[in-house]
Amino acid sequence: MVKRDLYRNILVGLIAIGILLIIRFFVFEPIRIHNNNMSPILPNKTQVFAMKRTKLENLDLVAYRHNGKKYVGRIIGTPGQSVVAMDNVVYLNQIILTEPYIKQNQASYLKTHDDDFTTDFRQDKLAAKTYWILNDARDVKADSRTFGAIKQKDILGELKFKYAPISAFGFVENDEAKIENGFDTE
């Protein structure tokens, strides 16, 4: 009787571990934020889940890999779109992109610097399966301005849920900018 219960418990445990591993590799990836590139939405030491296999759209927050390192950023341009920045203004397909998420970082930066917060760049028509990704803290240029367009295969997933610290527990709030720019928020 005891031996049978032991085998059953081991089998149940192995099945549970297998299910968790499948979910981990095919559904989400845990990401720890190591800097303030995406503050105030995702400040340093925040831990989030990147949901894999979601449809990527403009202004989604994503985790991606470049040269073996993980980064987080915001999708500014999707395949087929053109993205240009001039004089701290970002244009998406020749239309000004409203960016409420950078206002706090931009105000702090411009108090102590005379140069542009968003350095000028031009990306004509993104190729298929490539995305233009920028940090919300634009003074940190470890994003598409340095790396170029990010391939879809290098995107780990969309940042959807904060699980640590416990005071930040909950969904990542990111709808304001999408609504202001007329992007679908479903």
- The per-residue pLDDT for range 51-89, each reduced to its tens digit, is 998 899 999 999 999 999 999 999 999 999 999 999 889
**Which residues in 82-111 are b (16+ Cβ under 10 Å) and which e?**
ebbbeebebebeeeebebebbeebbeebee
Under the banding of pLDDT at 50, 70 and 90, the label for residue 133 is: very high
Reference 102, options 20, 176, 155; nearest CA is 176
Percent of the chain at pLDDT > 70 equals 98
pLDDT for 179 equals 87
Residue 186 confidence class, pLDDT cut points 50, 70, 90: low
pLDDT at 1: 59
In angstroms, the CA 70 to CA 57 distance is: 20
DSSP character for 131? E
Residue 172: pLDDT above 70?
A: yes
Supply φ then ψ for residue 69, to 5 degrees.
Answer: -105, 150
Question: pLDDT by residue (tens digit) across 17-41?
Answer: 988 888 888 888 899 998 888 988 8
Give the other-Cβ count within 10 Å of 161's Cβ: 14
Q: Is the model's pLDDT at 2 over the cut of 80?
A: no
Predicted model pTM: 0.85
Q: Evaluate if residue 132 carries a pLDDT over 90.
A: yes
- In this structure, the number of other CB atoms found within 10 A of the CB of residue 22 comes to 10
**Does the structure show a pLDDT above 80 at 97?**
yes
Average pLDDT over residues 128-157: 94
Looking at residue 39, what is its pLDDT? 85
Rounded to a whole number of angstroms, the distance between the first and last alpha carbons of the chain is 53
From CA 164, how far away is CA 45, in angstroms rounded? 8
pLDDT of residue 73: 95
The pLDDT score that the predictor gives to residue 144 is: 95
Q: Tokens for 185?
A: 């928020």
Q: What is the mean pLDDT of residues 3-8?
A: 85
Quick one: which of 174, 181, 178, 185 has its CA closest to 95? 181
Amino acid at 98: T
